[in-house]
Amino acid sequence: MSYNPNIPQPTDFVSISQNDILNNFTQINTTFDEDHYTFDAAANNGKHKSVTLPEGAAIGTDPGEIALYSKDDGTRPALYLRQENDGTEIQMSGISPSAATNGYTFLPGGMLLQWNTSTINPSGSTTINFPTAFSGTAYSVVVTPLRDSSNTDIVYIKPGTIAAASFQVRNTAAGITQCCWMAVGPA
């Protein structure tokens, strides 16, 4: 049986509608148990075990409240936060992150952060490709040479080479063959 919101009626005798009432309690407990601890879980009564947000549409908000919801970002369901009074909608999730040495992660607001250690040409230029392309030109790229403390030559980003999928590093040192870099831009 399913939940019956019309049980009990004012004219019902409890002894006659007892099974319907028990069924309603069972259905309520089953529904409440989704993402929650059960009614009789004394230590965690009423608390969430998890939160499942079915993909839907943007949710409006009133003054003094925010909304957290799931909707399609054009590729997959993503988590969104709507600020108060139908304010700014902020995308909170996106691409699946990679915590590897050569990695990237999605930042709330539609930003992408990427990093790596790359081999570079000694005394020349090297094109470095991002693990995943940005949707537009990267906003900022920072590069640090990996060197011993006695080397004073420099490694820098070649001007005008930052793009959505790559950038170029210029190396003035014959002895430096690796650099660490980090980039941020639009996801």
CB 176 within 8 A of CB 146: yes
Please write the tens of the pLDDT for every residue from 121-157: 988 999 999 999 999 999 999 999 887 666 666 889 9
Q: Provide DSSP, 59-126.
A: ----TT--EEEEEE-SSSEEEEEE-TTT--EEE---SPPB-SSSEEEEETTTEEEEEEEEE--TTEEE
Note whether residue 98 is domain-resident: no
| pLDDT (tens digit per residue) in 4-58 | 889 888 898 888 889 989 998 888 888 878 888 877 778 887 788 899 999 999 9
Q: Is residue 25 domain-resident?
A: yes
- Any idea what the CATH number is for the domain that residue 124 is in? 2.60.40.3940
Q: Note whether 181 and 121 are same-domain residues.
A: yes
Q: How many domains does the chain have?
A: 3
Domain that residue 45 falls in: 1-49
Question: Does 85 lie in the same domain as 133?
Answer: no
Q: Is residue 179 part of a domain?
A: yes
Q: Let me know if residue 59 belongs to a domain.
A: yes
User: Are 82 and 7 in a shared domain?
Assistant: no
